[in-house]
Amino acid sequence: MLRILLINDTAKKVGRLKSALTEAGFEVIDESGLVIDLPKRVEAVRPDVILIDTESPSRDVMEQVVLVTRDQPRPIVMFTDEHDPGVMRQAIKSGVSAYIVEGIYAQRLQPILDVAMARFESDQDLRAQLHARDQQLAERKRIETAKGLLMKMKSCNEEEAYTLMRRQAMSRQQKLIQVAEQIIAMSELLG
C-alpha cells in the first residue's frame, strides 16, 4: 500500500483530492496545508509519494518542491488548475514527477501514480550517475593537484609522486584521495 502525504494548498478546508483518493482505496497517512519545511515533514512521516493539490503553484510551493528533491527525494505529483505552460515547465524543473491539470477522477489516480513513480526512479538513476561522475572528476582533479605539489616538494617525477602517495595511503589503510587531501591541506598550511 502506498503511503501518501497530501499537501492541500487550496482555499478549501477539505481538498477535492482526499475524497478521490479514499474512493480509489488509497491511504492518506498525513494531510496538511502548505508547510514551511516540507523536507522535515517528509522525513517525519516517510511517505512513498507526495501529492500536492494547488489552484496555482506559487513560488513558495516550487521552493518546497526543490528542497524535497534535494534533501528527501520522493515522487511528487501536482494537481492544479494552472494551464500556463511556463508554470508547468517551472514545476517539472523543480522536481515534480507528474503535473496534472484539472479533473481529478478516482479511476485515473492509479495510472497517474504509476507513471510518476517510474519517472521518479529513472530521474533518480540519472541523478546518481551524474553525481558519481562529478564526484569522480572532482577527486581526480584533487589527486592531480596533490601529485603536482608533491613533485615540486620532492623534486620527483610523476610516477614517483604517485608511488609515494599510494604507499603512504596504503600504510595508513586509506584511499589515495584521502592522502591527496592531506597533502593539499599541509601545503596550504605551509603556504
Per CB under 8 A, residues contacting another protein are 122, 125-126, 128-129, 132-133, 136, 139-140, 143, 162-163, 166-167, 169-177
In the complex with another protein, the residue whose CB is nearer, 45 or 149, is 149
Parallel/antiparallel/unpaired status of strands 3-9 and 98-101: unpaired
CB of 171 to another protein, least distance (A): 4
CB of 141 to another protein, least distance (A): 10
Residue 28 pairs in a beta bridge with: 4
In the complex with another protein, the residue whose CB is nearer, 90 or 124, is 124
In the complex with another protein, the residue whose CB is nearer, 93 or 167, is 167
In the complex with another protein, the residue whose CB is nearer, 56 or 122, is 122
Residue 117 to residue 134: CA distance in whole angstroms: 26
CB of 23 to another protein, least distance (A): 36
CB of 124 to another protein, least distance (A): 8
Residue 61 to residue 91: CA distance in whole angstroms: 9
Cell of 53: 493539490
- DSSP H or E stretch at residue 89: helix 85-94
Write phi, then psi, for 43 (nearest 5 degrees).
-65, -40
Largest CA distance in the chain: 75
